[in-house]
């Protein structure tokens, strides 16, 4: 099923909420170094932060039809 969104609708786009959660968790954990190593750090911690339960709740909160 293909769902078209308005040109820019962050409230309806779950990835915007994922980025928000990711940024807040990274700030809370204080693990970023400000170096090139940050990409590897994010890659390693991403599965801990962005879980299937989180994605399910964000998808439901975006008012998409199931």
What is the number of domains present in the chain? 1
What pLDDT was estimated at residue 43?
94
Residue 47 domain-assigned?
A: yes
Q: What is the pLDDT of residues 7-52, one digit of tens each?
A: 777 777 788 889 999 999 999 999 999 999 999 999 999 999 999 9
* Its pTM surpasses 0.95: no
What pLDDT was estimated at residue 48?
93
Nearest to residue 22, comparing CAs of 56, 40, 45, 39?
45
Question: Helix 52-61 crosses helix 14-29 at what angle (to 10 degrees)?
Answer: 130
Residue 42 domain-assigned?
A: yes
Please report which confidence band the pLDDT of residue 5 belongs to, taking 50, 70 and 90 as the band edges. low
Q: What is the DSSP letter of 53?
A: H
CB count, 10 Å around CB of 27? 10
Residue 6 domain-assigned?
A: no
Residue 7 domain-assigned?
A: no
What pLDDT was estimated at residue 66?
54
Residue 14 near residue 55 (C-beta atoms within 8 A): yes
């Amino acid at each position: 099923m293909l769902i078209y969104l308005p040109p820019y609708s962050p409230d309806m786009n779950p990835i915007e909420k994922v980025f928000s959660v990711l940024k807040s968790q990274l700030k809370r954990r204080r693990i970023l170094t400000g170096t090139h190593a940050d990409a590897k750090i994010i890659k390693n911690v991403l599965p801990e932060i962005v879980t299937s339960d989180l994605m399910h709740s964000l998808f439901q909160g975006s008012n998409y039809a199931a």
